[in-house]
Amino acid sequence: MMDRKYSVLMSVYHKENPSFLKASIDSMIKQTLKPNDFVIVKDGKLTKDLDEIINEYNEREPDLFNIVSLEKNIGLGRALDEGLKYCKNELVARMDSDDISLPARCMTQVELFMSDPKLSIVGTIIDEFHDSPDNIVSSRVVPTTHDDIVKFIKRRSPFNHPTVMFKKSEVIRCGGYGNFRRKQDLDLFSRMINNDCKSANIDIPLLLFRSNEGNFKRRKSWSYCKSYIEVEYAIWKRGHCTLFDLIYVVIGQFIMYLSPMWFLKILSNKYLRKEYSK
């Protein structure tokens, strides 16, 4: 029978907001089913405020926290691969340093793993908020069944990356996050799905995602669009999507890059997000 214990894996770099980091860590250590292992990767040198927050938690619960310090910033994917080496448990919950997990998130995911030992990766829906967690503006709904995830991943990521819980051994077997600077999660998920890893998403929002104008600007940047195309090209070369899927993504990314901001928001709200309703 699978162990209910799980690790948390988080990466932090110098541009993080200290108050957001604190809220994120708090949301994980206050889970209904508390982790027994919390790995924080310091991706390069941090600010004094960020270091103080991490040190405070580590001093308070030294048996829970494991701080991995990297000499220089190597990017999210490689930092997570490094942190994964230190995770004590087979089940690992990803968490970003500026989002907020709802209290039942990890317990719900662990219970799903317990009910189906063949599962390798489980994510959830997210609610997106501006400024305050009380100001939820939209939701990112993802496919829930494995068959639908297999279809969806040919063009877009079928998981909300900050929500996923996965089996450490399966991530390592499939090559980890790899060397892509951006969209490394989509590349990893594609390799996992196409290496017979069973997947699922829980059909309820279990994480609050911090969204703002900066998110739109990043998605509209050339570096983001170029990275998306590079990852999709790698997926196509492995035979995990069709040429038509690749062309679809390339055209879509050029539209995102060339469109004015107001049009990008319309596209995002209509095709990529679901309007939040109480």
pLDDT value for 274: 60
CA 178, distance to chain mean position in Å, is 15
Q: pLDDT digits over 114-141, tens only?
A: 999 999 999 999 999 988 888 888 899 9
pLDDT, averaged across the chain: 91
pLDDT at 72 over 80: yes
Q: pLDDT digits over 28-67, tens only?
A: 999 999 999 999 999 999 999 999 999 999 999 999 999 9
User: Residue 215 is which amino acid?
Assistant: N
Confidence of residue 228 (pLDDT cuts 50, 70, 90): very high
Q: pLDDT digits over 142-174, tens only?
A: 999 999 999 999 999 999 999 999 999 999 999
pLDDT at 277 over 60: no
pLDDT at 92 over 50: yes
pLDDT exceeding 90 applies to what percent of the chain? 78
pTM score, whole prediction: 0.91
